[in-house]
Amino acid sequence: MDLNKIDAELREKTSRAAADSFSKWRHREEPGEPAPGAKITFLGTGGNPEAIFSQVPRTAGFILVVGGIRLYVDPGPGAVVRAEEAGIDLGVIDGIFISHGHLDHYSGAESVIEGMCWGMFTRRGHLMAPEQVLGQDRLLSSYHQGQNMTPAGYKGGPKVIPLQAHREIKIKNAVLTPIPVHHAAENYGFILRAGNLLIGYTSDTNYIRSYRTPEGVQEMTPRGPIMDMLEVVTIVRILRIYLARWTCL
C-alpha cells in the first residue's frame, strides 16, 4: 500500500469537490418566476418544547409561494433537512420571515440564509424579523445579516428589514403587512396581499386577557393551558374592534 499515493489522490479529490461546490453556488442565475397561483408547503408544524428535541411533529416552518415570491416562514430546527427532503432548492427563496425569537421559529434561519444567498457569495433575498431578533438579542449573527464581509470572499447576505407594526413591505408583486400578535416580547404575524388574494398568518398568539373560573376571575398568563374557564371576561382590544364589524347570523 502506497500511502503517499493514497494521500495525493484524496487531496486531489477533495480539492476538486471543493472547487465544484464553490462554483455551483457562486455562479448561479436568478430563477424564473414561479407558476401562477398560490402554494403552501408545510415542512413542520411542531412547536416548543417537546417537538424541538423529538422532531415529532417536525418544526421546520413552511414555504409560501404567491405573487411571484417564494417566502420561507419561521424556519425552525431541521429547516434545511426538511427542505432537501421536499426537493426545495433554497437558492430560489426570495425572503425569510421570522415572527419572533423562540427556537422553533428562528433556529434554522441561518442555514436557510446561506442557501438563499448562494453560500453567502451573493447579496440577494430579504430577511424580515423583529428588532429583538436582529439587534437586541442578536439571535442571528451579524455575518448572516450580511454585515461581516470577509477577505475570503464571503460578501453575500440578505437585505435586512426590521419588522414594524402595519408598515408595508413590498417584494415583487406582493405586499406584506406585519401585524403584532400577543406572544413573546416582540412578535408579528402578517397579512400578505397578492392581487386579489389575501393570506393571513398569526404566528403564536392569544386573544384572551382574563377569564372566569369557579374561583373567580383569572388573568391570562403568557402560557396556557386554561383548564377551568367558564367564560371569557376580556379579550385584546384589537380583536374587539374587528369583531364589532361582524354580524353573527
* CB burial of residue 236 (10 Å; 0-12, 13-18, 19+): middle
What pLDDT, in 10s, does the model give residues 37-90?
Answer: 899 999 998 887 888 999 999 999 999 999 999 999 999 999 999 999 999 999
**Residue 26: per-residue pLDDT:** 75
Average pLDDT of the chain is 88
Interior/surface letters 28-62, b for 16+ CB within 10 angstroms, e for the rest: beeeeebeeeeeebebbebbeeebbeebeebbbbb
Local confidence band at 152 (pLDDT 50, 70, 90 cut-offs): low
Q: Report pTM.
A: 0.84
| Residue 28 pLDDT grade (very low, low, confident, very high; cuts 50, 70, 90) | confident
Comparing 145 with 236, the larger pLDDT belongs to 145
Computed on alpha carbons and rounded to an integer, the radius of gyration of the chain in Å comes to: 22
Mean pLDDT of 157-178: 96
**pLDDT exceeds cutoff 70 at 246:** no
Strands 69-73 and 59-66: antiparallel
Give the residue with greater pLDDT, 19 vs 173.
173
State the pLDDT at residue 128: 98
Other CB atoms closer than 10 Å to residue 107's CB: what's the count?
Answer: 20
Determine the pLDDT at residue 248: 44
Percent of the chain with pLDDT over 70: 91
Q: What average pLDDT does range 209-233 have in this prediction?
A: 79
Q: What is the pLDDT of residue 242?
A: 62
What is the pLDDT, as a whole number, of residue 223?
A: 62
User: In this predicted structure, what is the pLDDT of residue 219?
Assistant: 83
Out of 3.40.50.970, 3.30.70.920, 3.60.15.10, 3.40.50.1950, select the CATH number for domain 31-201: 3.60.15.10
pLDDT at 167 over 50: yes
- The domain segmentation of the chain, as residue ranges, is 31-201, 208-243
Lowest mean pLDDT among 77-86, 118-127, 146-155, 195-204: 146-155
Gap between the Cα atoms of 196 and 221, Å rounded: 38
What percent of the chain has a predicted confidence (pLDDT) above 90? 56
Cβ–Cβ < 8 Å for 117, 111: no
